[in-house]
Amino acid sequence: MALFPQQFIDEVRSAADIVTVISDYVSLRKAGAKFKGLCPFHGEKTPSFNVDRDRGFFHCFGCGVGGDVFKFIELQEKVGFTDAVRQLAQRFGIPVPELDASESGRETSAEREALLKMHELAAGYFREQLESPAGLRIREYLLGERGLTPETIATLGLGYAPQSRDTLRQRFLKQGFSPATAVKSGLISRRDDGSEVDRFRNRLMIPITRETGSIIAFGGRALEKDQQPKYLNSPETPIYSKSRTLYGLSHTKGHLRKADVAVIVEGYFDFAQVFQAGGVPVVATCGTALTATQAQLLRRFTSKTVLCYDPDTAGQGAAERSCELLVSEGFSVNVALLPGGQDPDSFVQTRGRDAYVAQLKQSKPYLEFLLDRAATGIDLGRDDARREFLSRMLGVAARIPDPAARDQFADRLAHKARVTEEVVRAEIRKAAAARKTELPAERARSLSAPLRDVERGLLWAIVHTPADAHAVLSALEPTDFEGLRSQDLLEKAASLLNLDAEELPAALMERLNDQEAQLLSRVASETAAPVPILTNCIEVLRSSRIERQLAAIQQEIDDDRLEHRPADLLNQLLRKKNDLRSQLEHTRRGPRDGYNR
């Protein structure tokens, strides 16, 4: 019996937060350090079903059933272990290595293992170079300018990539790795002329790990003033996705759980300095925007965050975007602003740990941060400036889900803008009402409609054959998705066509709500493609769209209220109707495999 590689299973287990997964099926409430609910496997009126997020297990004291997140899916969905792993991988946006007894399946597993071994080998090589005479100036840089201790340098596994052209590549080849696998690792680059060289040369090397501790990528910092780019990071590989990785989490995850809060900083050295100070549950985004997948990963350890980003415009803009993302994922969010334009790295070096912790304790709730940020540079003594400020903050207020919290925010907003509370509250309620998802009747009906084969075919292809899905989505128009149950999901997929096809599944999963993610995962778990020829979806969806347009025009032609309209208007409608009929005839030409239209 073929199995997924253990490394992949561990990655899925780590990503699949058991509380999040079980909450899709069971209403859970927090009870101390655990969660409780009514057991889904036997009838009961008093909750005896317990979920332990820290240990990743569930157990029912009523019927005795228990296990990990895979066992829950096996029992709930009545599937085997392999299908449970596959469903959870797709649910959390992890590429699935389709393993079977075939030679290609064994090769996929072996390749992932080889890539992990190559990163371990590279990390050892970089550490060796840092300790060599050639690495002396780098060690002095780390100990002096960066203020890191030898213990921190060793714990974080920092290293040095020398200027040599292909020393690491030669090591890989001597260890039996193929040139193609070396390039796929992202550690070796293939130039336009076909030659292959080490990607990282004359750079300080920073290992990037999964939360389990496995090295999956590197960040390389420039060592010369004119060296570009300043930071060169590993590309996306079969074992590394930057949108699913938080730097330093493998070192601090225990502390995050114990403290029940995460301090989020932006870069490698911000993390290193705060981590070295000790006692601060810190992780870093490494300069990239925080993603929903990263937030979900963090949610396994805590539901509270303090953002401590760089004080420049880019850093504070990133903090504002991160606030809204984290709040939407259920986090309590504060923002710490360091004085004097300092980032966490420089602040801790100059002021020390205690001063930094004091700043964290003085952090503001994210709404206060947004208020202060929006008011910066605005003269609230002027009527037009107050109107501009209020207009900007109404959008923020409208996104606050709790009405009581909205009213509290209204009071603070009114005080800052020097406007009466009643006026601001009324405007916020209007803005919130305008944002409610009141769907048109046609759209509401489509959500309860059965999922058509063309939809299932497209959704399945997005996960399993993204290049084919990318091509079909590129050939369709936004109006082709109207009336489909998966309309919103497919529109989100179509909005990502600027990405490479292979990036489509992971990028899409980051943008889906829970219901959409469940729908995509359910369809993707089907063992075979729902439609035999994916390009037939183009013809079916185009035909449906033209038929809708024809029906609308015919209704307009038949409208009794327009019997006295000008003749040229009627002729125009008739011409458009004929044009659409011709388009429909043209679209329907050609062979088509039978399936539910």
Residues 557-578: what's their mean pLDDT?
Answer: 62
* Whether pLDDT at 594 is above 60: no
Name the band, by pLDDT with cuts 50, 70 and 90, for residue 588: low
Question: Crossing angle of helices 268-277/353-361, nearest 10°?
Answer: 100
**Residue 335 host element (H or E):** strand 332-335
Residues 499-520: what's their mean pLDDT?
Answer: 75
- Pick 475 or 200 by higher pLDDT: 200
- Pick 394 or 332 by higher pLDDT: 332
Name the band, by pLDDT with cuts 50, 70 and 90, for residue 357: very high
Name the band, by pLDDT with cuts 50, 70 and 90, for residue 183: very high
pLDDT at 445: 40
Residue closest to 240 by CA, chosen among 268, 207, 264: 207
- Pick 269 or 534 by higher pLDDT: 269
pLDDT at 318: 84
Cis peptide before 339, with omega less than 30 degrees from 0?
no
Our CA angle for 359, 363, 364, nearest 5°, is 155
What are the tens digits of pLDDT across the range 22-49?
A: 988 888 888 887 899 999 998 888 898 9
> pTM for the complete prediction?
0.61
Q: What share of the chain is helix, strand, coil (3-state, %, to 5)?
A: 55, 10, 35
pLDDT at 439: 39
Q: Choose from 35-44, 77-86, 434-443, 555-564 the range with maximum mean pLDDT.
A: 35-44
What are the tens digits of pLDDT across the range 307-323?
A: 999 888 778 888 888 88
pLDDT at 587: 55
pLDDT at 23: 87
pLDDT at 180: 93
What's the Cα-to-Cα distance from 488 to each of 55, 197, 530, rounded to whole Å? 36, 44, 20
Name the band, by pLDDT with cuts 50, 70 and 90, for residue 483: confident
Residue 330, both tokens:
């259920």
Q: Choose from 345-354, 400-409, 553-562, 582-591 the range with maximum mean pLDDT.
A: 345-354
pLDDT at 269: 96
* Whether pLDDT at 597 is above 60: no
pLDDT at 284: 95
Separation of first and last alpha carbons in the chain? 38
pLDDT at 294: 87
- Pick 293 or 596 by higher pLDDT: 293
Amino acid at 532: P
Q: Choose from 1-15, 367-381, 565-579 the range with maximum mean pLDDT.
A: 367-381
pLDDT at 440: 44
* Whether pLDDT at 141 is above 70: yes
* Whether pLDDT at 437 is above 90: no
Residues 415-444: what's their mean pLDDT?
Answer: 64
- Pick 109 or 535 by higher pLDDT: 535
Q: Which of 159-163, 370-374, 465-469, 518-522 has the lowest mean pLDDT?
A: 518-522
* Contacts for 225 with CB less than 8 Å, ≥ 6 apart: none
- Pick 514 or 257 by higher pLDDT: 257
Using the structure block, give the residue that is written with the tokens 């048109």: 440
Residue 156, both tokens:
């974080």
What are the tens digits of pLDDT across the range 203-221?
A: 999 999 988 788 999 999 9
Burial pattern 149-176, b for ≥16 Cβ within 10 A else e, equals eeebbeebbbbbbbeeebebbebbeeee
* Whether pLDDT at 446 is above 50: no
* Whether pLDDT at 400 is above 60: yes
Among residues of the chain, what percentage have pLDDT more than 90?
32
